[in-house]
Structure 1
Amino acid sequence: MLLHDSRKVGTYDTEPERTRLQIQHISQWLKENPNVNANSDFGNLLFFLRSCKYDLERTKKKIKHFYQMRAERVEWFAYRDPFLPEIHELLKLGVFLPVDGVDSKNRKVVIIRAAAHDPKLHSQNNVFKVNQSKT
């Protein structure tokens, strides 16, 4: 099931066995809650777990809210083709600039240049699309 990907845990967590059990718990919770309709692959669940500092209840809440928002705000997640003129222009302007690698605490760093675009020309929905695809 998830065990073939569980070797990734060791590089991120000081308690890999505990993390594996937490991932299995979340996976089981997702099976029992099909209305959440979340991506249940190991890497995705590990991302949510890590972003919630390994707190199971916070992780479940965050997963639920993320996928609920994704279902309700289709305009932020659909048509994210970087070659669409309106998306390509925002990418060229460098509104979101991911920095290579991670910082000393293993976090991804992204420079956000909010004033780099003209809100009269670029819709907020397109800015959100670029934000969602920046990594």
Structure 2
Amino acid sequence: MELISIEEELKKNPQLKLDDIKLLRDWIDQEKTAPTSLSDVQLALFLHCCDYDLETTKNTIKTNYRWRAEQPDYFTRRNFTLDSGLAHSLDTVSFLLLPKRSTADELIIVARIKDNDPKSFLMLESVKLFFMFMDMVLAKHGSSNGVVIIYDCEPITFALARKCQISTLRALLHFLQEAVSFKVNAIHYMNVNAAFNFVFQLFKPFVASGLINKLHFHSPGSSTIFADLAPNSVPKHFNGEEETSFVQMHEKMKEGLKSFQPWFEKEEASLMTFMQSLELEKQQNGDLSETIGSFRQLDFD
């Protein structure tokens, strides 16, 4: 389990300053806005994502960890032995980091449903697995010029679409738009079909204007994605030239996530300590902050 070091982040990002990391750590210690055990690299990723603006970085960190605390279904029991649904989802959905970055130094992620039997698809656990996957990718690869997500709509059927939970879609979009430590530069929906269009109408109301302009829709067999991505970085499945098979990348995903189990356990222990401090704050103040109150709107239907 190799993690990127703060020295590597400093080398590739001249704007990154250790003084800013110290300021953030002092702020967390004083305000109790996030787990105090956040690593220098984690703080550096938030700074990079927020263009090194300290106030924006603080708000994003606060939103991220308050949201994690308020939505434990996604961020606790991240253990394939304890959570059978999570272990099951390892074989039903794929989140794949492509070997090549874009020409703009963006990480490219493919997301697809591997088993589209509606009885096999567990939506909450699939989203939970996506969050785990992205935590792992960031811990291993560090900062980039953003993330491009390619979502394969081909496996989506109307039977599968009926299993979509609006509350889970809403939670996923909120986190992607407001709280992550990476920039979502584009989402390409490949092989768009009628079933996906049905799902899109469900989550479209929760897509902010800043993200809606980053969504791109591609018909089956089209090559329109190459207006944004070089063919050599796109898998053959989407008419590109990248030859690594989805089967190989899926197995690599499974092995990587399983090897990261100690990291996930350490992160969860820190989150649990943070959640306890928030509960104590709630007891002392009668309620949590206005920020916490806003997250209650995300409770499951």
SS at match of 2:90: helix
SS at match of 1:133: helix
1:30, 1:40 within 8 Å by CA — same for their partners in 2? Answer: no
Alignment partner of 1:49 is 2:47: yes
- Give 2:74's aligned amino acid: W
Q: Which residue matches 2:204?
A: none
Q: Which residue matches 2:108?
A: 109
Cα distance in 2 for residues equivalent to 1:101 and 1:24: 33
Deviation at 1:71, TM superposition (A): 0.5
Q: Which residue matches 2:19?
A: 21
Moved more, 19-28 or 103-112: 103-112
Moved more, 91-100 or 115-124: 115-124
Cα distance in 1 for residues equivalent to 2:19 and 2:118: 46
With normalisation by structure 1, the TM-score equals 0.75
Pick closer, same or farther for the CA change 1:94–1:115 going to 2, 3 Å.
Answer: closer
Cα distance in 2 for residues equivalent to 1:21 and 1:118: 51
Cα distance in 2 for residues equivalent to 1:116 and 1:38: 39
Identity of aligned residues (%): 22
Pick closer, same or farther for the CA change 1:116–1:129 going to 2, 3 Å.
Answer: same
Cα distance in 2 for residues equivalent to 1:109 and 1:12: 19
Deviation at 1:96, TM superposition (A): 1.4
Q: Which residue matches 2:68?
A: 70
Cα distance in 2 for residues equivalent to 1:94 and 1:121: 10
Q: Which residue matches 1:8?
A: 8
Q: Which residue matches 1:59?
A: 57
Q: Which residue matches 2:88?
A: 89
Deviation at 1:57, TM superposition (A): 1.2
Moved more, 98-107 or 28-37: 98-107
- Give 1:52's aligned amino acid: C
Moved more, 62-71 or 125-134: 125-134
| Unpaired runs of at least 5, structure 2 | 138-301
- Give 2:57's aligned amino acid: T
- Give 1:67's aligned amino acid: Y
SS at match of 1:95: strand
SS at match of 1:109: strand
Deviation at 1:117, TM superposition (A): 4.4
1:36, 1:64 within 8 Å by CA — same for their partners in 2? Answer: yes
2:46, 2:60 within 8 Å by CA — same for their partners in 1? Answer: yes
Deviation at 1:101, TM superposition (A): 6.1
SS at match of 2:78: coil
With normalisation by structure 2, the TM-score equals 0.38
- Aligned-residue CA RMSD (Å): 2.6
1:95, 1:117 within 8 Å by CA — same for their partners in 2? Answer: no
Cα distance in 2 for residues equivalent to 1:117 and 1:82: 21
Cα distance in 2 for residues equivalent to 1:79 and 1:101: 32
Pick closer, same or farther for the CA change 1:119–1:55 going to 2, 3 Å.
Answer: farther
- Give 1:87's aligned amino acid: L
Pick closer, same or farther for the CA change 1:57–1:47 going to 2, 3 Å.
Answer: same
2:92, 2:113 within 8 Å by CA — same for their partners in 1? Answer: no
Cα distance in 2 for residues equivalent to 1:9 and 1:99: 21
Cα distance in 2 for residues equivalent to 1:99 and 1:72: 32
- Give 1:45's aligned amino acid: L
Deviation at 1:118, TM superposition (A): 5.2
